[in-house]
């Protein structure tokens, strides 16, 4: 047995009892393996599945115990009598082989201790909120948020006596402190909830400043409110918020992680302590993803780095073309931040890439935006983002149609705004498509 086939400690502690410790390498002679390498096999032992190279899809609602005592031990884990969840598989509302392998691999991207997957991004967010909030609590959050998250916090949790206080995504440390202090004075703060970059403004939140503010303002508390962040737009490749002090990172895996516009799923990654709180709630309400979707996501994660890198390169080229075009007023792309500005400072500290989703402001209004959208030949007209194909939509008339005019104006959601998510097509083809669509405007 060579050194690199000896199971590492992470193998032994990270694997569940179901999957016996396997000769999997996480590093080779001190060289640490990258996520893109580990996505091909991490967390799966073919010998447990007849030697199948790829994991089968485990379509079963329940799992057989080796003995009555083993069944009892598993339930002690499920009910939280012993921390860390069940040692083996029990029932498919709690977990399954496909989901466990997926969770092991999802955590790798951010070097997280643990991860969970959910039936959608919103069910991940809802489970986290339900796990932390009590009547009378305040949620401090950055603004704007994904529309359904805003509805959930403002309208749904509001019915249960939960309040919120927000600060603008680009807020300074002083502005964040002021909001945190107000919330702290008011009573228990359930969590600090962030979304960065914000949709659809692309404004970045200073995660490091938020964490420092939380630590300072709640210094008197032993248990401080967790900092939770929706990292759907840049994660898990271009922004890794755990490194900047966030406690929990949430995902709509429907977007870049799934990446083929053919599934809906969500994820959460963080420390074991934080994940265990959410796992209990997920076990109770059953917001776990299904085995088939988990299997599709395993496939998606194998190409995540390839897809996101290509989409990012394509977006840089398309944006460079659009920026200089006579019919374009402005391109809201993270690669074009004013180098001396605060947003660029946040970007340099937090992000390793500008992503592939951006805002295009055309000269004119709705008519010009619609002519551009209708003229596109390659890009499909659809909401969502992060797929292999390029998508374009009109926020004012689609995703944000029900937002009051004054709020739309405050968020910069104007009639001439087109949202574009660039895919992995040939960049020259995408530029040719934009070029001909702009000619028709």
Ligand X SMILES: *Cc1c(COP(=O)(O)O)cnc(C)c1O
Instruction: List interacting residues with ligand X (CB under 6 A).
Output: 120-122, 146, 195, 199, 230, 232-233, 252, 254-255, 264, 266
Kindly list the distances between the CA atom of residue 211 and the CA atoms of 245, 277, 317, 371, in Å, as whole numbers in the listed order. Answer: 6, 20, 34, 44
Please give the structure tokens belonging to residue 370: 């619609």
Contact 267, 137 (CB under 8 A): no
Identify the CA nearest to 193 among candidates 203, 180, 182, 181. Answer: 180
State how far the Cα of 355 lies from the Cα of 112, in Å rounded to an integer: 22
Contact 252, 120 (CB under 8 A): yes
State how far the Cα of 416 lies from the Cα of 218, in Å rounded to an integer: 43
Element (H, E) at 78: helix 68-78
Kindly list the distances between the CA atom of residue 264 and the CA atoms of 103, 259, 292, 366, in Å, as whole numbers in the listed order. Answer: 16, 10, 11, 30
CB nearer ligand X, residue 11 or residue 110: 110
CB nearer ligand X, residue 137 or residue 195: 195
Residue bearing tokens 């031990």: 73
| HSE-up of residue 364 (Cα within 13 Å, Cβ side) | 14
Q: At closest approach, how far in Å is the CB of 401 from ligand X?
A: 16
Q: At closest approach, how far in Å is the CB of 147 from ligand X?
A: 9
Q: At closest approach, how far in Å is the CB of 87 from ligand X?
A: 30
State how far the Cα of 206 lies from the Cα of 197, in Å rounded to an integer: 10
Q: If 0-12 CB within 10 Å is exposed, 13-18 middle and 19+ buried, where does residue 134 land? A: exposed
Q: At closest approach, how far in Å is the CB of 232 from ligand X?
A: 4
Phi, psi values for residue 376, rounded to 5°: -65, 135
CB nearer ligand X, residue 39 or residue 122: 122
CB nearer ligand X, residue 122 or residue 434: 122
Identify the CA nearest to 289 among candidates 249, 326, 258, 248. Answer: 258
Element (H, E) at 175: helix 173-186
Residue nearest to ligand X (CB): 121
For residue 434, give every residue at least 6 positions away whose Cβ sits within 8 Å of its Cβ, in sequence order, or none.
Answer: 318, 321, 322, 376, 379
Element (H, E) at 342: helix 342-350
Q: At closest approach, how far in Å is the CB of 297 from ligand X?
A: 12
CB nearer ligand X, residue 283 or residue 289: 289
Q: At closest approach, how far in Å is the CB of 265 from ligand X?
A: 6
Q: At closest approach, how far in Å is the CB of 250 from ligand X?
A: 8
CB nearer ligand X, residue 121 or residue 259: 121
CB nearer ligand X, residue 230 or residue 368: 230
Q: At closest approach, how far in Å is the CB of 233 from ligand X?
A: 6
Q: At closest approach, how far in Å is the CB of 257 from ligand X?
A: 10
Please give the structure tokens belonging to residue 119: 């039936």
CB nearer ligand X, residue 230 or residue 290: 230
CB nearer ligand X, residue 199 or residue 239: 199
């Amino acid at each position: 047995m060579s050194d690199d086939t000896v199971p590492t400690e992470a193998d032994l502690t990270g694997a569940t009892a179901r999957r016996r410790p396997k000769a999997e390498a996480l590093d080779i002679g001190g060289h640490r393996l990258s996520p893109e390498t580990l996505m091909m096999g991490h967390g799966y032992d073919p010998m447990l599945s007849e030697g199948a190279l790829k994991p089968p899809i485990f379509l079963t609602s329940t799992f057989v115990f080796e003995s009555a005592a083993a069944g009892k031990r598993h339930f002690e884990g499920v009910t939280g009598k012993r921390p860390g969840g069940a040692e083996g598989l029990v029932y498919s509302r709690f977990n399954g082989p496909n989901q466990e392998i997926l969770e092991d691999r999802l955590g790798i991207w951010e070097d997280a201790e643990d991860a969970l997957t959910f039936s959608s991004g919103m069910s991940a967010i809802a489970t986290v909120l339900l796990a932390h909030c009590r009547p009378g609590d305040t949620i401090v959050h950055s603004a704007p948020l994904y529309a359904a998250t805003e509805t959930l916090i403002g309208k749904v949790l509001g019915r249960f006596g939960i309040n919120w206080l927000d600060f603008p995504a680009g807020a300074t440390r002083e502005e964040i402190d002021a909001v945190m202090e107000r919330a702290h004075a008011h009573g228990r703060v359930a969590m600090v909830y962030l979304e960065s970059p914000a949709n659809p403004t692309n404004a970045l939140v200073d995660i490091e400043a938020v964490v420092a503010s939380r630590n300072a303002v709640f210094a008197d508390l032993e248990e401080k409110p967790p900092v939770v962040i929706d990292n759907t737009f840049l994660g898990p490749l271009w922004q890794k918020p755990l490194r900047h002090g966030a406690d929990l990172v949430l995902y709509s895996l429907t977007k870049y992680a799934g990446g083929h516009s053919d599934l809906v799923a969500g994820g959460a990654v963080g420390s074991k302590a934080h994940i265990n709180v959410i796992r209990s709630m997920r076990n109770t309400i059953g917001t776990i993803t299904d085995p088939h979707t988990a299997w599709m996501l395993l496939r998606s994660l194998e190409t995540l780095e390839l897809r996101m890198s290509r989409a990012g390169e394509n977006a840089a080229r398309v944006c460079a073309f659009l920026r200089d075009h006579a019919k374009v007023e402005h391109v809201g792309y993270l690669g074009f931040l004013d180098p001396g500005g605060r947003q660029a400072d946040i970007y340099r500290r937090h992000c390793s890439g500008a992503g592939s989703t951006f805002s295009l402001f055309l000269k004119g209004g709705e008519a010009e935006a619609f002519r551009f959208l209708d003229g596109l030949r390659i890009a499909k007209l659809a909401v969502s983002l992060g797929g292999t194909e390029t998508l374009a939509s009109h926020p004012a008339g689609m995703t944000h149609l029900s937002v009051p005019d004054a709020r739309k104006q405050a968020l910069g959601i104007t009639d001439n705004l087109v949202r574009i998510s660039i895919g992995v097509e040939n960049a020259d083809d995408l530029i040719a498509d934009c070029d001909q669509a702009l000619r028709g405007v």
